Amino acid sequence: MVVSFCLHISSSAQSKWLPEPGIDIQHYEFSLEFFDEADALFGKAQIFLERESDINELKLDLIKKEGGKSGMELKTVTYSSSPLTYTFENDVISIGLPANFDSEKPIEIEYEGIPADGMIISKNKHGDRTFFGDNWPNRARHWLPVVDHPSDKATVAFKVIVPEKYQVVGTGSLREESDLDNNRRYYHWESEAQIATKVMVIGIAEFAIQYLSTRQGIPLSSWVYPQDREAGFYDYALAEEVLDFMIEKVGPYPFEKLANVQSKTKFGGMENASNIFYMEASVDGKRSSEGLIAHEVAHQWFGNSASESDWQHIWLSEGFATYFTALFLEDKYGFEALQKSMDENRITALTRAPATGVVPQNADNLMALLNANSYQKGGWVLHMLRTKVGDEKFWQIIRSYYSKYAGKNASSSDFQAVAEKISGKKLDNFFTQWLRRPYNPAISWSYSFDAAKGELSLNCTQTHEGEPFDLDLEFDIVQGEIKARKSFRMIEKSRNFVIPMKKAPESIVIDPDSRVLASFSKK
């Protein structure tokens, strides 16, 4: 996603989010009913799962109603119409699996309540009532009983009954849309792709809907508030060329459709699988949200299809979406657009990244992971990998990583293994220094020219505290119209590079193409 609010970064403790082992959810079917008169929802979840033979308990996350107005209450927990033994404490439902459990039949849970979060029921900027799922990172549990972790993906169906004035957009493809009695309307959306709870949602509002062209078999549509119809359709149609770019560069689109949806997400944009929810202000009729749209569309491949195995590897979502935005802009506008993006991202990475490394030891505070390490520095790691292995190998790595982990989960080591296999290079030092070190290189440099010897002497010192980095540095030596490019590898704390030269240079530019994530200061 793209963050549109200030983040509080707090210290992290031991990661506590991994689900209990031995349970693998296969499919969720959520039947949900929403009303205008009250914010309560009525839900029935049918959960199909596989379990290891010694596992007799299913633990599901659901925020419990505890005295206040919001939270969920359980009505029934059954299997084949027979009640099951369960407890519901500390926002976890622990269900005893029956002796005759068969993975072909679902565990069924009926529940109701007012969600405090995760399903945002409110008024939009025009004063109209709307309902938007906003699950990232683990807020699905406010309205859905789930194993709320990206490593347990499942297919999902949403069967939703709403007042008839609304349209419902949901994950996957539309299977049914029918009028019911009492001015109610029924929608059935279903995804055959395995997805994580963080990106399975529905949105309910009065929408204007534009069905755009089909891109390589993928139907593309825009869903905006009726008042924003013209501006929103114009803005969101930008997704066509991003979709073309990603399909051409990375591989087939992983879901049944792509809907771009104006919404009440608390983020700038939220990449929900096959229906991206954007903040209301993303529509302005001026296409100001081009980078935002590119970021969220790129997430359909990276984050939604090939997903991080656990939260500390979130750069595999956010760093990729950040760099693919820059790559899309490079493809559309040329190299200067890429360089501008990387220069902006460099400033953010150098000045705002917390001292945890891109892959932190612990990932307890999930919102705090939305930081300049995961996004800007993660994007820079891909940019530097591209420089290290060359364009051809870089794109082979991207395509190979995606095809291997599409629909699955990967860790940073999994990505490294693909990069090493394709490039034929040992990249341990590269990934360790850029992903694990909690600091970045700071380089102080100077030069002097000795006319008698005919030598230009370039001095570089890594002035940051900690280990020196292994860097490939480039310099442009400027003489009038002529720029001579010189490249050096630097692994030491400090080094002098001597270049034979007859005439003093007019100027020298370090890292002229923005290839190294470092701060440079001229002595």
- Residue 321 or 517: the one with the smaller Cβ distance to Zn ion is 321
Residue 99's CB: how many other CB atoms inside 10 A? 6
CB of 267 to Zn ion, least distance (A): 8
**Which segments of 198-254 are extended strands (E)?**
202-205, 208-215, 218-224
Span 97-136, contacts to Zn ion by CB under 5 A: none
Q: What is the rounded CA–CA span in Å between residue 398 and residue 384?
A: 14
Q: Contact between 60 and Zn ion (CB under 5 A)? A: no
Binding mask 290-319 for Zn ion (x = CB under 5 A): ----------------------------x-
Residue 169's CB: how many other CB atoms inside 10 A? 28
First to last CA, the chain: 40
Binding mask 18-47 for Zn ion (x = CB under 5 A): ------------------------------
Span 237-266, contacts to Zn ion by CB under 5 A: none
Kindly state the helix (H) or strand (E) to which residue 133 belongs, with its residue range. strand 129-133
- Residue 349 or 458: the one with the smaller Cβ distance to Zn ion is 349
| Spatial contact of 166 and 147, defined as CB atoms under 8 Å apart | no
Residue among 156, 321, 327, 329 that touches Zn ion (CB under 5 A): 321
CB of 369 to Zn ion, least distance (A): 11
| Spatial contact of 463 and 447, defined as CB atoms under 8 Å apart | no
| Spatial contact of 319 and 309, defined as CB atoms under 8 Å apart | no
CB of 321 to Zn ion, least distance (A): 4
Q: What is the rounded CA–CA span in Å between residue 463 and residue 454?
A: 29
Pairing, β 471-479 against β 507-510? antiparallel
- Residue 314 or 350: the one with the smaller Cβ distance to Zn ion is 314
Residue 216's CB: how many other CB atoms inside 10 A? 10
Q: What is the rounded CA–CA span in Å between residue 472 and residue 487?
A: 7
Size, binding site for Zn ion by CB under 5 A:
3
Q: What is the rounded CA–CA span in Å between residue 449 and residue 344?
A: 33
- Residue 1 or 60: the one with the smaller Cβ distance to Zn ion is 1
Q: What is the rounded CA–CA span in Å between residue 192 and residue 256?
A: 8
Q: Contact between 382 and Zn ion (CB under 5 A)? A: no
| Residue of 336, 194, 330, 307 whose CA lies nearest to 249 | 330
CB of 373 to Zn ion, least distance (A): 13
- Residue 348 or 396: the one with the smaller Cβ distance to Zn ion is 348
Q: Contact between 1 and Zn ion (CB under 5 A)? A: yes
CB of 73 to Zn ion, least distance (A): 34
CB of 319 to Zn ion, least distance (A): 9
| Spatial contact of 45 and 58, defined as CB atoms under 8 Å apart | no
Span 479-518, contacts to Zn ion by CB under 5 A: none
Contacts (Cβ under 8 Å, ≥6 apart) of 102: none
Q: Which stretch binds Zn ion (CB under 5 A): 1-9, 140-148, 240-248, 285-293?
A: 1-9
- Residue 290 or 318: the one with the smaller Cβ distance to Zn ion is 318
CB of 139 to Zn ion, least distance (A): 16
CB of 303 to Zn ion, least distance (A): 7
CB of 482 to Zn ion, least distance (A): 42
| Spatial contact of 47 and 60, defined as CB atoms under 8 Å apart | yes
- Residue 1 or 508: the one with the smaller Cβ distance to Zn ion is 1
Q: What is the rounded CA–CA span in Å between residue 187 and residue 177?
A: 5
- Residue 291 or 468: the one with the smaller Cβ distance to Zn ion is 291
- Residue 228 or 318: the one with the smaller Cβ distance to Zn ion is 318
List of residues contacting Zn ion (CB under 5 A): 1, 318, 321
